[in-house]
Structure 1
């Protein structure tokens, strides 16, 4: 069993989301590989990337999740070390801060684990319960929407290069994107606390990397929703929806009375995914913003889609200022 090894343990709680009566938190139990998020030496960047993907998960072990009111939720990790804590609990908003964040604490409860556990077996977690002041929500892609990754490069070599050889603190966000997201977060009143959900095709292995990037570049705090590496490599059926689409659909179903703005790019499948979502949730999508990428063939295709699409506002934008101007004119922001 993996927990019989000597390395200390950790629990990484992924920032998730819930409602006043529905608690929903995800994360992963792993051996602590001592990834130094501050070290920017090239060799350490390579080693850290290896550690992110060569994980030693703690499978089939019990965890305790403790809420601020001392209620305990018991969960177990699966064969890949992931856990899902989901339970109907009333009045959760009473446990949140002004922005809607609910803090909780995780710990291992398996008495058979007989080795050192970091932080005295106490690991923090958070989930977002959107404020009642929220006017709308935002579901945004990350790759080539707020962070240049090179997803349209030949053989995706830029994605590989950027993830391995560039520290999260040195990755430059697309100009003006943090300002735009803060304006959306504050809304037309300037203090709306509109929830921002970051959804990506990237694997959960990059969670802490992306969390550091968003925090370092002053993006509004929001749930970061990725996918497991096994799902990334698994061959999908022709009718199966992309994981990003499933996540956005789940968000829309979780908050049925909240309209949304969708933000993506023109490089992959965002236009098609977002149009399907508009069709499935008529009247729920206020606008779609697609950031242009440098790929002539893809741009021609997307431009044709955008020009002929009349169901909801869909804009192909070259920069954040264009999106800001449209959002202001549409009454989304000040």
Structure 2
């Protein structure tokens, strides 16, 4: 019996299991939790050095996921929900649940406990079968929300380099503690998080085209560099052999729309860069939701043709205040003029 279970899960008895619970977002009556069940590959982001960085990157992409795993999700008030992972190990809880707002901390975070609900799996689990998941419910003190890109917006990646070689090099060979944030970005984001009142706890949403495999790497970068904690929304990693239908809308566009529809009474600030398609996406969003976007900030990357194109787009755009900036100081001064921050 045990041999059959191990064969089905593609596990050796010594391999421990884990559950990655992602930082998601929901409302006081809507529980939305995502994560992934997989083997513990021993990724250690605290280790430094070229070899450790490469080993960590390899392990993150070499994930051995658990299909059809039965999971249990417990709320702080002991209400319990169940989920089953798909063929890639992902699970999702998306359902109406009352009185969630009463269970959050003052920043709006709801703590969930995740665990396996199968006796045969439990014998290979560390952490006493207790793993963490968190869902953000915007605080009643929130003045607005902030939706930000990650790559080349807060994290220097080199996304505009030829064949994106800098992105590949940085991801594979640079330890998270050595990744460089843009100067002043953390301070600017924290001021936006605190809002005009200085005590607002404005919700933060980090939306990136990076794959879920890099979730803990990006989560560690955000925390290490003192950016405000927020929901982290990545995408599934598609291979050239993936035959599943592609979504009709790009990932970032789809996620931003979902956030706006989830919180219809909240306005938002959008932050991105001039490197790829942020300007086009944000302009389209602002035109679709003209009363919902308070400001758009786009960081000018080191690519004059793209920056020139974005300047042209913004010159014709009049729906909401929008600014192409070279540094966080310019964005901070503009935000203060708009009375977004103190």
TM-score bucket (shorter structure): over 0.9
Cα distance in 2, alignment partners of residues 143 and 102 from structure 1? 27
What's 1:328 paired with? 336
Q: TM-score, normalised by structure 1?
A: 0.97
- Counterpart in the other structure of 2:179: 171
Task: Give the aligned partner of residue 235 of structure 2.
Answer: 227
Unmatched runs of 5 consecutive residues or more in structure 1: none
Deviations 1:157-212 (A, max 9, x none): 00000011111111111000000000000000000000010000000000000000
Kindly state the Cα deviation for residue 111 of structure 1 after the two structures are TM-superposed: 2.4
State the shift of 1:87 in Å: 1.8
Q: Which residue of 1 aligns with 2:301?
A: 293
Q: How does 1:250-261 map to 2 (within 5 A)?
A: 250-261=258-269
Q: Indicate whether 1:42 and 2:85 are aligned.
A: no
Question: How many pairs were matched up?
Answer: 334
Q: What does residue range 142-181 of structure 1 map to in structure 2 within 5 Å?
A: 142-181=150-189
Which digits, 9 at most, give the CA deviation of each residue in 1:66-122, with x for residues without a partner? 000000010111010001011211111110011111101000002232632010111
In the TM superposition, structure 1's runs of 4+ consecutive aligned residues that sit over 6 Å from their partners are 235-239
Worse overlay, 273-282 or 157-166: 273-282
C-alpha distance in structure 2 between counterparts of 1:238 and 1:120, whole Å: 38
Instruction: Give the corresponding residue for 2:9.
Output: 2
Structure 1 position 4, deviation (Å): 3.9
Match of 2:121 among 113, 116, 119: 113
Structure 2 gaps, min length 5: 1-7
3-state SS, counterpart of residue 294 of structure 2: strand
CA RMSD of aligned residues (A): 1.6
Q: Report if aligned partners of 2:273, 2:299 keep a CA contact under 8 Å in 1.
A: yes
Deviation readout 1:275-334 (Å, 9 max, x if unpaired) = 111122121001100000011211111111112211111100010010000000001000
How has the CA–CA distance of structure 1 residues 233 and 150 changed in structure 2, closer, same or farther, with 3 Å as cutoff?
Answer: farther
Matched, 1:278 2:297: no
Give the CA deviation at 1:230. Answer: 2.5
Deviates more, 1:66-75 or 1:278-287: 278-287
1:27 equivalent to 2:35? Answer: yes
The partner residue of 1:195 within 203, 210, 218 is 203
SS of residue matched to 2:120: coil
2:100 to 66, 80, 92: 92
Instruction: Tell me, yes or no, if the aligned pair for 1:185 and 1:194 is still in contact at 8 Å.
Output: yes
* Distance change >3 Å, CA 233–CA 318, structure 1 → 2: farther
Query: In structure 2, what is the Cα distance between the partners aligned to 1:212 and 1:182?
Result: 17
Q: Classify the secondary structure of the residue corresponding to 1:220.
A: coil
TM-score, normalised to structure 2, is 0.95
Report the Cα distance in structure 1 between the residues aligned to 2:68 and 2:231, rounded to whole angstroms: 25
Q: Is the 8 A contact 1:2 1:56 kept in 2?
A: no
Task: Give the conservation status (yes or no) of the 8 Å contact 1:49–1:163.
Answer: yes
Structure-2 change in CA distance of 1:230 and 1:115 (3 Å): farther
Contact 1:266-1:292 within 8 A present in 2 as well: yes
